[in-house]
Structure 1
Amino acid sequence: MKNILCYSFCLLFGVQQVAAQIVSIRSPDNKIVLNIKSDNGQLLFNVKKGETTVLEDSPMAFSSDEKKFIIAHLHSPEYYKVDETYPIRGIHSLAINRANGMKVKIADKKNNTLFAIDARAYNDGIAFRFLVKGTPTDRYIPKESTVFKLPLGSHIYYHDMYAHYEGIHKKQVIDCVSKGEWAAPPVTIELPQKQGYVCITESALRNYPGMSLQADGECGLVVRLGHEQPAGYPFAHDYSLEEAKRLSEPAVITGDIITPWRTVIITSDLNELVNTDLITNLSPAPDKKLFPEGVNTEWIKPGRSVWCWLDGGQRTLEGMKEFSKLAGELGFEYNTVDAFWYRWTDMQIKELVDYSAQFGVKIWLWRHGRDLRDPQKRKEFFDRCQRLGIVGVKLDAFSHESKEFIDLYQACLKEAAEHKLMLNIHGSDKPTGEVRSWPNEMSREGIRGLEYGKNQYEWATHNTTLPFTRLVAGAGDYTPMVFGDRKLDTSWVHQIATALIFNSSVIFFGAHPQTILDNPAVDIIKDIPAVWDETIVLPCSEIGKIAAFARRSGDTWFLAVVNGKEAQTIQFPLSFLGEGWYEATVLNDRTTDAGAIKIERAFCRNSDSLTGYMRNGGGYIVRFKSK
């Protein structure tokens, strides 16, 4: 594996001052340019791709200890290159990390170094972060109010912070977004005249509060740190008002400040947007001691799990034994046991672990995050899990982006890895590249999934929006696929297709396992992989209207489509297939019954096309097995 990080800069703060007031960096393909300039004491940046303006002149605002920095000049940058590949998990199996970078020192009128900016330009975006050199005893309170100023006429897909990261996206012209409105990253933007897509988020979040965005009423989105964000409904459900007030105090950082990367993904189409590696590229490589083979470390196993919370099941030891038996019949690897296990003894937990093993099924346990804030209790719990043969933990109620909660994420991920435990984090914020840095994080919520399903939401529109908004940032535990009332305005085929399109390295299925076994499409469901070698977003895809993916695992391809509110018939060229013949199993919507599936079979080559009918809220699935 190619793994070269070529840094040509010397000492970060040992650069000779020059009079330059504008510094620039271009992507390796020379199409994207990031300009940083000082202007009357203010630091500004803008971004272009070719002749297209991606971001207008925008304030790049950072300070510490509540001091307002007056920028006098920029020092000449030290340039470097990044060029590596590494294994990754989810959308595809190999990531390419290739960028041009620069570090530039920012000084005041007396030539005192205020901070430095580390910036990179990739072929699919730009990123920057702020650096402050400190001593182990230095204490800082960072303040950010950087603005991302979008071109007039851009369409923005965003949701507010009321449900933290579990909101419903709406589409709005940026000119019409009111001052003060909140936007939870990742925020996806369609540029005017369909000139491409932009997605704004952050990468490598650690030792720092999380970032949200707030509209300034002038086409800008302003960075707001965790303590500035409103405490959403999920936090209020689990914690007290006193706790919310305490976490609204600014965070103190000791020693160096290294902010997360402020990340702007820039692509020409939805296929490039979905396939971006920018967020993981900016995240630190995993600790070799904890993860000797990175995402392929031996004890980290992607897979599928049954789960009794959504669709019923006896919440007892005997009920969970039955779930493990049914999981084995499905070929699923895991059974996730929810909060009722708290009443069990170690002997009962071990009994379930041993019973499940005969069916090739391993056990995950749910745990409230509040119970793990104390380091000693955390250690005792992880010790207990390891001793009893538990392989994964579903942690819940992490719905705040204060530095305290971000530190808790990091502690849980590290200590779980020391115990060879996988994690799924619920009630969470957005992913920021953890799949690379902490490969034992298999999924996280931070998404409105089927736990909300009995309410009257337009799932068809929501599900055709998620692949191009929230899921751009990383895996999302949507708990996909139900066949009863929770599916609301969607069909059975649509529901199955969500498990094929929504990335999660362990898929925690919402449906009762017996319901899955009874479904006419059970053979297809059994075959759904949790991770993919290749993903292609088909050209007919449109945010909020249709998401059509061709995905490969080994030699098997799937064509999976979730449709929005309008019924449609689409012809799908099969040019993504390899050479030779494939046996195709086709799942079609029934025109008169959303709770039924029409199954057909055919033989196809890559020169052929298939025509799929999708009802409103429908779907279309084809599995192609090489002959």
Structure 2
Amino acid sequence: MKKAILFINLLLLVSAAKGAVLNTEIKMTSPAGHISAGISQRNGHLFFTIKAGQQLLINNGTMGLVIDGTAYGSCVNSLSTLAKRTARTGNKVYHIYTFLLEEAGRKYNIEFRLSNEGTAFRYIFDSKTAQYVGKELTAFVLPKSRVWFFERNSDWKLKSYAGLWQNTTADSLNTISSQGPVQGKPLLFELPGKKYAMLTEAALYNYSGMRFKALNNRVLQVDFTEKNGFKVAGDLITPWRVLLYATDLNRLVNSLMINDLNPEPDKQLYADQSYIKPGRSVWSWITRDKNYMQPEEEMKFITAASELNFEYTLLDEGWETVWPDKWKQLTEICSFAAGKKVGVWVWKNSKALRDPSKRDSFLDSVRNAGAVGIKTDFMDSEAKELIDFEIGFLEACAKRKLMVNFHGCHAPTGESKTYPNEMTREGIRGMELNIMKEPIPAWHNAALPFTRLVLGHGDYTPGLFSNKANTTNTHQLALFFLFNSPFQCMAENPVKLLADSRFKPVIPLLKKLPVTWDETLVLKCSAIGEIAAFARRKGDTWYIAAINGSAKNKEISFTADFLEKKKKYKVIAINDAPDGGFLRTTSTIEATSVKKTVIGPNAGLVMEISPSGN
């Protein structure tokens, strides 16, 4: 009898021990302590929670991966903290937690990084052989909120991120889209107190791009383009699953976390970065006429680029088919452009470059002809094979000192930090839709700086003054200053622009238009989809750019406290004139000045603020 009681007591002790293991929770905090996260297992299943103060951002989201048929995260035997450390990237501090898990006879890691801007995590499965990802079990359980997403009317626009930015309730995200419940990234959530959370990913390498399948009860399940999964060679390190948090729009726009989560460039591949030069480009494709791609016409564009102080011209689709001896003609064009101090970019359909040998042969010919960059197009997917193509293309171009512009592609995940020859990418519903009978509305433009462009550069191709849909000329001008792209490609025909006296007031601004910025401030009058208003600094010159996304007059106001005190500044302001042209005025301003102006429906405002005497 005593033996039986002893045996039962031992069973109870073992059960209690197992119960303790099966209900483990480990908490994490950001450096400032206001963002916290927790990873837990309950009955073998993995969960995570993220908070900002007392605001619950993600509540009991599930974790895990299905690899080679095994659902990791569903039957965890043990969860423990392997390491905790503090790291610094630039001026940002991160708390890094690495967890060791054991399950199904295998050990693997989950790594969390918490900064004062948000939380990110990823899975790490070491292996010497290929692994097959059948599904990702990660799911995000959202709070009640309004959510900004890009709506699309085709599967292609989901894959190439070419949707219109609009908002709905988080509860209706699974039913709002006629194309189905799968949504692209990022998703931006407006929280109580005018705070914001953005859900996206960073460091997308050797994996498939993350999408979100919206389910009932505000659940977002990670989804992939490949319905039956994909293979990963060797070690499996997923991209970071990122939740950015910002207490206002200024902090959201200035977040560096996505960039920070990417590796540094390869020191050997990028030992020489002198060829990587941000700049502005002219472009003949979108305004093309009967003379499109004739060498004489392209030379006119190059001459106009030189007159505007633009650094580049882009030869888009057709240069290979219109010219009988394309390489000889390209060499002559590049030589002519070099004489004007203009670099030449060329376009190529990515389908002709998927074979590495054909890709390398083409790139060699482009480099030998004297071109400086490649725009490649029509990936139209973020399936793993296309992600692999993009990374291989960046590496191949870097070996030949060529810059890259991706079109027909997914939104950025910070890869331009690791591959700095990526100057821009589309993954955005841009100006070319204006010539495709799907004109861009002003409210879409007023949402972009706070949604898609938070992720990184976007080749929107602004400034289509001759086909501007429901916007105004100054609205189009302001886009150059609001939308970040180190390769800023102007849509308008530069020859006609220079010949049109209506544009005389803005030519000086275009001639010194910055494409990278030293500082960006979001003005407090901004509201997503209604008003986008920035103050941006390049050197000692500030620019105010604002667009009205609504059909009503809007007041744009700001205090100039970003200026140096006790100094006077000259202001050149560009507004829309009653006749549809530009109204240019001058005034003075100082740090204590308060500026207020009303801009009309779908209109814009641009100010150049420079120290007096400049």
In the superposition, the TM-score normalised over structure 1's length comes to 0.88
- Please state how far the C-alpha of 1:158 moved relative to its aligned partner: 3.8
- Where do residues 203-214 of structure 1 align in structure 2 (5 Å cutoff)? 203-214=202-213
Tell me if 1:103 matches 2:103.
no
Give, as a single letter, the amino acid of the residue that structure 1 aligns with 2:276.
I
Counting aligned pairs with the same residue, the percent is 35
Point out the more displaced range, 367-376 or 164-173: 164-173
- What is the CA distance between 1:145 and its match in structure 2? 2.8
Deviation at 1:56, TM superposition (A): 1.4
Q: Deviations over 1:171-205 (max 9, x none)?
A: 011112235512110111111x2351111111111
Contact 2:148 2:165 in 1 (8 A): no
CA distance in 2, matches of 1:23, 1:142: 28
The one-character-per-residue Cα deviations of 1:498-531 (angstroms, maximum 9, x if unpaired) are 1111110010110000233231311112221111
Task: String of CA shifts for 1:58-112, please: whole Å, max 9, x gaps.
Answer: 1113220122231233123411221132xxxxxxxxxx3420011101223x7x3
Q: CA–CA distance in 2 between the matches of 1:284 and 1:208?
A: 16
Asked if residue 266 in structure 1 is aligned to residue 250 in structure 2, the reply is no
Deviation for aligned residue 1:365: 0.2
Letter in 2 for 1:37: S
Match of 1:10 in 2: none
Please state how far the C-alpha of 1:142 moved relative to its aligned partner.
4.6
CA contact under 8 A between 2:433 and 2:440: conserved in structure 1?
no
Find the residue that maps to 1:406 and give its secondary structure. helix
Deviations 1:538-563 (A, max 9, x none): 11111110000000111111000011
Q: CA 1:457–1:218 in structure 2 vs 1: closer, same or farther (change >3 Å)?
A: farther
1:308 to 267, 273, 284: 284
2:396 equivalent to 1:415: yes
Partner of 2:85: 80
Match of 1:575?
A: 561
1:218 is paired with a residue whose SS is helix
Contact 1:47–1:53 (Cα < 8 Å) also in 2: yes
Larger Rg: 2
Structure 1 pair 458/441, CA: closer, same or farther in 2 (3 Å)?
A: closer
Whole-angstrom CA distance in 2 between matches of 1:460 and 1:349: 38
Cα displacement (A) at 1:470: 0.6
Deviations 1:15-69 (A, max 9, x none): xxx9471112211111100111101221111111111111111111322012223
1:436 corresponds in structure 2 to: 417
SS at match of 1:312: coil
Q: Does 1:552 align with 2:533?
A: no
| Per-residue Cα deviation, 1:400-428 (whole angstroms, up to 9, x for no partner) | 11111110001000000000000000001
How do 1:409-558 and structure 2 match up within 5 A?
409-454=390-435, 455-457=437-439, 459-484=441-466, 486-517=467-498, 518=500, 519-520=503-504, 521-558=506-543
Q: Is the contact between residue 589 and residue 613 of structure 1 (CA under 8 Å) also seen in structure 2?
A: no
Comparing 355-364 with 174-183, greater Cα deviation is found at 174-183
Residues 206-226 of structure 1 show CA distances to partners (whole Å, capped at 9, x for unaligned) of 111111111012111111123
Alignment match of 2:172 (pick from 145, 157, 176): 176
Name the CA distance, whole Å, in 2 between partners of 1:571 and 1:382.
Answer: 49
SS of 1:226 mapped into structure 2: coil
By how many angstroms is 1:347 displaced? 1.7
3-state SS of paired residue (2:94)? strand
> Superposition pairs for residues 167-316 of structure 1, below 5 Å?
167-178=163-174, 181-191=181-191, 193-228=192-227, 249-292=228-271, 297-312=273-288, 314=291, 315-316=293-294
Contact 1:588–1:613, Cα closer than 8 Å, also in 2: no
- Equivalent of 2:385, from 389, 400, 404? 404
- Describe the SS at the equivalent of 1:322: helix
- Specify the alignment match of 1:233 in structure 2: none
2:111 to 110, 118, 135: 118
Matches within 5 A, 1:267-416: 267-292=246-271, 297-312=273-288, 314=291, 315-343=293-321, 344=323, 345=325, 346-416=327-397
**Inter-CA distance 335–507: structure 2 relative to 1 (3 Å threshold):** same
- The question of 1:150 aligning with 2:142 is answered yes
Q: Which runs of 5+ in 1 are unaligned?
A: 1-17, 86-95, 229-248
2:600 matches 1:622: no
Q: Within 1, Cα distance between the matches of 2:458 and 2:332?
A: 31
List per-residue Cα deviations over 1:557-582 (Å, max 9, x = no partner).
10000111121123221112224121
C-alpha distance in 1, partners of 2:134/2:508?
A: 54
1:513 and 1:158 mapped to 2: Cα distance?
A: 31
* Cα shift at 1:114: 4.7
SS at match of 2:144: coil
Quote the Cα distance in structure 2 between the aligned partners of 1:138 and 1:408.
18
Pairs aligned (count): 570
Quick check: 2:548–2:604 contact (8 Å CA) kept in 1?
yes
For 1:80 and 1:516, the matched residues in 2 are separated by 56
Contact 1:120 1:127 in 2 (8 A): yes
- The change in CA–CA distance for 1:105 and 1:159 in structure 2 (over 3 A counts) is farther
**Corresponding residue number in structure 1 for 2:51:** 48
CA contact (8 A) 2:146 2:167 kept: no
Deviation at 1:284, TM superposition (A): 0.7
Q: Is the 8 A contact 1:447 1:478 kept in 2?
A: yes
TM-fit CA distance, 1:456 = 4.8
TM-score, normalised with respect to structure 2? 0.90
RMSD of aligned C-alpha atoms?
Answer: 1.7
**Deviation sequence 1:242-272 (CA, Å, 0-9, x none):** xxxxxxx421112110000001111101111
Instruction: Please name the residue that 1:584 is paired with.
Output: 571
Q: Which residue of 2 aligns with 1:15?
A: none
Look up the equivalent residue of 2:102 and give its one-letter code: A
User: What CA distance in whole angstroms lies between the structure 1 residues aligned with 2:30 and 2:287?
Assistant: 49
Contact 1:586 / 1:601 at 8 angstroms: preserved in 2? yes
- Cα distance in structure 2, aligned partners of 1:123 and 1:612: 35
Give the match's secondary structure for 1:76. Answer: strand
Does the 8 Å contact 2:282/2:305 carry over to 1?
Answer: yes
In the aligned structure 1, how far is the partner of 2:301 from the partner of 2:127?
54
